[in-house]
Structure 1
């Protein structure tokens, strides 16, 4: 199969030269970089770091003077070149390397033209740009992971290395909390993807699941969460099972080991603890998950939580507010007196 051709366009004003290896290594996973251009004012002292790595990585520098203070002429030059390359029909994809949200519209336009758009930038990259790409990679995290691997591969770890090891892990977790798609959202999406596109008992091929996650969340990369393999990431969730079948890895949603009658008794107990006013539908769902981590209405044959509650004999759902948007679950009067 012929590899896809990519145009790699780098914004020297917003990306450090220390990431050059990460940039080129990552793009090689998707195809061949036929264009490698970097844009900046090479008369500026800020560009000195890049000058040392351009020749050895065969990157063409594009001179762009700063015509006016406060205006970024580099962005305009990159956008113009990107459109010229697009109309030349010589590539199948673009790699836009910048932490600047000004390239959001460019990413959208390239995707509309059928291009694969891979974005790369630091963790500070605004969300609109990262989600506008097909795939987005955080360069500072990739760099940290590489440094971590180097330390772990050393024969002997010094005390300082061990401390750095722990600090890196803490930093990754801190960044995850600030900017990455929340890991809980990822877990919920995995369960939803499996149940909507297959059978939770039969499961889904791990490779296909990974592809679907990237389509939903362009910034999804297991390295963002401190893992080096998707399989390790999957097994970190209590709600999921990973099994090997005919040399294929299959992800399954763990089935509930609690029958519906037990669920009903737990619902009654929760409502009684909350008083006669009942309990909000969303809060009730959350409390059931706290009691039974693998709780999933689909495992009982329902597509909606409200439908499962409606099937319980001793509770009722009441609507409140305009258009009945707010829903509260209460006990029938005879049950409340027990």
Structure 2
């Protein structure tokens, strides 16, 4: 089985709908999964709005793909990205795609790539519509992966850590966590955190950092509805037993 560290990833950037200031954090995150062998950014490079992206293309070895605005109100960038993605899907030996955009129009593309058995890592701002977020194998809000950058902009945009009470009120999250624990538990009701994480990733797009927690263990610890134990560097979780 191929190791995640060796995944070959195609990075496609919708420069019209993504901030250039986050590119370093995006590439750092992608490096956790594999190598971005293909790096392309799409947009009308004659537009002054893309100047920040233009200034960092060479530094990060990103190939600019020019798209003219042929019709007012129509986004040629989306179409070009989708066409290129399908071309790469069938002509290149890739393991995953990383799509950077806050635009919901790429949801059908993501679903098509998943059908071929490839992973899709999505990156976008918190304004990204939920269909695109949930379609990806893993989706990270850009505000969540830049907290380690010491700047006023990053501090202002950083994801606020949700309290245990707020987490418990998120029924979708709670159902996801409970289901993962129940599906991976042993005869005593304990589940290893790694098994829980794998089950969640196979079931839905999920990232603890989107809730303000660097690790999944921290998320469970914030919710007082689960028991946590550690044994030989392995963390186990189970639903609290009724007394």
Q: TM-score, normalised by structure 1?
A: 0.64
Post-superposition CA distance 1:290-338 (Å, at most 9, x none): xxxxxxxxxxxxxxxxxxxxxxxxxxxxxxxxxxxxxxxxxxxxxxxxx
Judge conservation of contact 2:160–2:211 (CA < 8 Å) in 1: no
Equivalent residue, structure 2, for 1:312: none
Secondary structure of 1:13's counterpart equals helix
Matched residues, number? 237
Separation in 2 of the partners of 1:22 and 1:188? 30
Secondary structure of 1:7's counterpart equals strand
Post-superposition CA distance 1:220-256 (Å, at most 9, x none): 2221222222222111111111111233111122111
Judge conservation of contact 1:172–1:226 (CA < 8 Å) in 2: yes
Secondary structure of 2:16's counterpart equals coil
Larger Cα-atom Rg: 1
Judge conservation of contact 2:184–2:196 (CA < 8 Å) in 1: no
Secondary structure of 1:58's counterpart equals coil
Structure number with the bigger relative contact order (C-alpha 8 A, sep ≥ 6) is 2
Judge conservation of contact 1:14–1:100 (CA < 8 Å) in 2: yes
Judge conservation of contact 1:200–1:252 (CA < 8 Å) in 2: no
Equivalent residue, structure 1, for 2:201: 214
Separation in 2 of the partners of 1:195 and 1:16? 40
Instruction: Give the structure with the higher percent helix.
Output: 1
Equivalent residue, structure 1, for 2:69: 66
Q: 1:103 to 1:91 in 2, by over 3 A?
A: same
Separation in 1 of the partners of 2:115 and 2:97? 13
Runs of at least 5 residues in structure 2 that lack an aligned partner in the other structure: none
Equivalent residue, structure 1, for 2:142: 139
Query: After the TM superposition, which residues 31-110 of structure 1 pair with which residues of structure 2 at under 5 Å, given as runs?
Result: 31-110=34-113
Equivalent residue, structure 2, for 1:225: 211
Q: 1:114 to 1:65 in 2, by over 3 A?
A: same
Q: 1:71 to 1:181 in 2, by over 3 A?
A: farther
Q: CA RMSD in A?
A: 2.6
Separation in 1 of the partners of 2:16 and 2:168? 26
Equivalent residue, structure 1, for 2:232: 246
Separation in 1 of the partners of 2:132 and 2:159? 26
Q: 1:42 to 1:212 in 2, by over 3 A?
A: same
Q: 1:90 to 1:80 in 2, by over 3 A?
A: same
For residue 237 of structure 1, the aligned residue among 214, 218, 223 is 223
